[in-house]
Amino acid sequence: MVRKAYGWKSGPFKIPKDIKSAWEAIGSRGVADNTAWLERKASISERKQAEFDRVVAGVAPKRLGSAVRGLKKQITADLPKVATRKSSEMALAAINPVMPETIGGSADLTGSNNTRTADMGTFDAENRGGRYVYYGIREHGMAAAMNGLALHGGCAPYGGTFMVFSDYAKGAMRLSSLMGIRAVYVLTHDSIGLGEDGPTHQPIEQLAMMRATPNLNVFRPADTVETAEAWELALSAESTPSALALTRQGLPTVRTKYTNKNLTAQGAYVLKDAENKRQAILLATGSEVEIALAAQEILEAKGIGTRVVSMPCWELFEAQDEKYRKRVLPAGSVRVGIEAAARFGWDKWLTGERGNSKKAAFVGMASFGASAPIDELYAHFGITAENVVAQVEALLV
């Protein structure tokens, strides 16, 4: 019927000669330009050709690892207390000069997301060589544009907004994961710790939403060291997008000893082991790792051996072999998860492998947040070292 409606008289899969000739003529118009381009590329040094091919292929440079290791050395020497959104800016300041293909941006929250570094320049009508885009209040539009940049090739796009606004970018983020492209979502103000802006801006369920998305690595780093490692992994991933959940409030450096190894690549690792005979394991992400360490100190003083496990990326931990996972989370100890977000998904690590809910607890959120200073909020919702200690003691009875 369609063939008849269009007056198409040629047989199935038969292309008339006049149409074929017309398309061949159109295709040939680019031959001269393509030849000229190949000649220009051949005229530059082999090193520059190799760099161009690397960028177009979407492969991170070897210098990326060196830049991150250099920052880690500095951090473990200085031990700063900064918000991980600031840690992200510090990482980008080291990374952007060695990755000319990064194109950053923010959905009207540049000053809050800390996504712009001094060397980037602004991309606009007057400066097509700029590497930073002011997207405006367009979370979905920003994420969709990042997908386009990644699909085009030769670009490593990242963009920032508040984590609660990942809801608006959800459709495009899902497509990043579905298409398997390298896009990095910088999501700051990642918990009720943002304080007085109140429950409309405080993410509760967003971490669970992102962790439920196939082929999306969700990083919630505990300090500047883990943040730098997360950036290295996000920009090295050739077929997986990443989301970085970053704090507004300052966090101490909890990884105080330098190591060349990227421990965040393991997804979870033993940050500090028990001194007494191990009876409890505290599992935490992001800002709550600090709380886990404070609770461990109290429990150890009471003779209760406690291990602290930092879990910056569940997806990468799940990808480890079973032997490693069991080494980090051995049976025989009670487990308490600590995260200022919804519990959904945590049972995989708290009870899933053993199925014993009587030996596990969760310290986090079971409701939306409230408007108050961070210290008051954490105390009000029980996200404290003292409550963690109480949960462990109750499980050991």
The string of pLDDT tens digits covering residues 255-283 is: 999 999 999 999 999 999 999 999 999 99
- Give the residue-averaged pLDDT of 141-168: 97
Amino acid 145 reads: A
pLDDT at position 358 is 76
Percent of the chain with pLDDT over 70: 98
> What is the average pLDDT across 185-204?
97
12 falls in which pLDDT band (50, 70, 90)?
A: confident
Residue 38 — φ and ψ, nearest 5°? -65, -35
Is pLDDT of 146 > 70? Answer: yes
Q: Locate the domains of the chain by residue range.
A: 56-251, 267-396
Which CATH number does 267-396 carry?
A: 3.40.50.920
> Is the pLDDT score of 56 beyond 90?
yes
Amino acid at 109: L
Residue-level pLDDT at 355: 54
Q: What is the pLDDT of residue 310?
A: 98
Which pLDDT score, from 0 to 100, does residue 14 have? 87
Mean pLDDT of the chain: 96
| pLDDT(9) > 90 | no
Q: What is the mean pLDDT of residues 235-258?
A: 97
Averaged pLDDT, 202-231: 98
Token pair of 32 as six digits:
């001269």
The residue written with tokens 């079973």 in the block is: 322
* Same fold? 56-251, 267-396: yes
Residue 99 pLDDT greater than 60, yes or no: yes
| Tokens at 104, concatenated | 């950053």
pLDDT at 380: 98
Q: CATH for 56-251, among 3.30.559.10, 3.40.50.9100, 3.20.20.70, 3.40.50.970?
A: 3.40.50.970
More confident site: 1 or 393: 393
Write out the catalytic residue numbers: 139
φ/ψ of residue 206, rounded to 5: -70, -35
Of 11-20, 58-67, 97-106, 107-116, where does mean pLDDT reach its minimum?
A: 11-20
Q: Residue 37: what pLDDT?
A: 94
CA distances from 44 to 20, 140, 200, 206, 343 (A): 37, 39, 54, 48, 55
Q: What is d(CA 132, CA 134) in angstroms, rounded to the nearest whole number?
A: 7
**For residue 392, which of 291, 281, 286 has the smallest C-alpha distance?**
281
Q: Looking at residue 283, what is its pLDDT? A: 98
Please report which helix (H) or strand (E) contains residue 187, including its range.
strand 184-188
Q: What's the CA gap between 262 and 258, in Å, rounded?
A: 10
pLDDT tops 70 at residue 304 = yes
Q: Are 251 and 293 in contact (CB under 8 A)?
A: no
Mean pLDDT of 207-215: 98
Burial tier of 331 (Cβ tally within 10 Å: 0-12, 13-18, 19+): exposed
Q: How much is the pLDDT for 354?
A: 56
Burial code (b: 16+ CB inside 10 Å, e: under 16) for 353-386 equals eeeeeebbbbbbbeeebeeeebeebbeebebbbe
Task: Sort strands 305-310 and 269-272 into parallel, antiparallel or unpaired.
Answer: antiparallel
Digit-coded pLDDT (tens) for 312-364: 999 999 999 999 999 999 999 999 999 999 999 999 999 875 556 679 999 99
- Look up residue 383 and give its two tokens: 């996200």
Q: Is the pLDDT assigned to residue 379 strictly greater than 90?
A: yes
Confidence of residue 46 (pLDDT cuts 50, 70, 90): very high
**Cα 340 vs. chain centroid, distance in angstroms?**
17
If one counts every other C-beta atom within 10 angstroms of the C-beta of residue 345, the result is 18
The Cα–Cα gap between 284 and 309 comes to: 6
Res. 3 pLDDT band, cuts 50 70 90 = confident
Question: What whole-number distance in Å separates Cα of residue 349 and Cα of residue 336?
Answer: 10
Provide the pLDDT for residue 11: 84
Q: Is 247 exposed, middle or buried (0-12, 13-18, 19+ CB in 10 A)?
A: buried
Q: Mean per-residue pLDDT for 237-251? A: 97
What is the rounded distance in angstroms from the CA atom of residue 361 to the CA atom of residue 379?
18
Residue 295 — pLDDT band, cuts 50, 70, 90? very high
Q: Which residue has the tokens 């959800």?
A: 170
What's the pTM value of the predicted model, to 2 decimals? 0.93
The fraction of the chain above a pLDDT of 90, given in percent, is 93
What is the pLDDT at residue 353?
56
Task: Decide if pLDDT at 232 tops 80.
Answer: yes
Quote the CA–CA distance of 191 and 199 in Å, as a whole number: 10
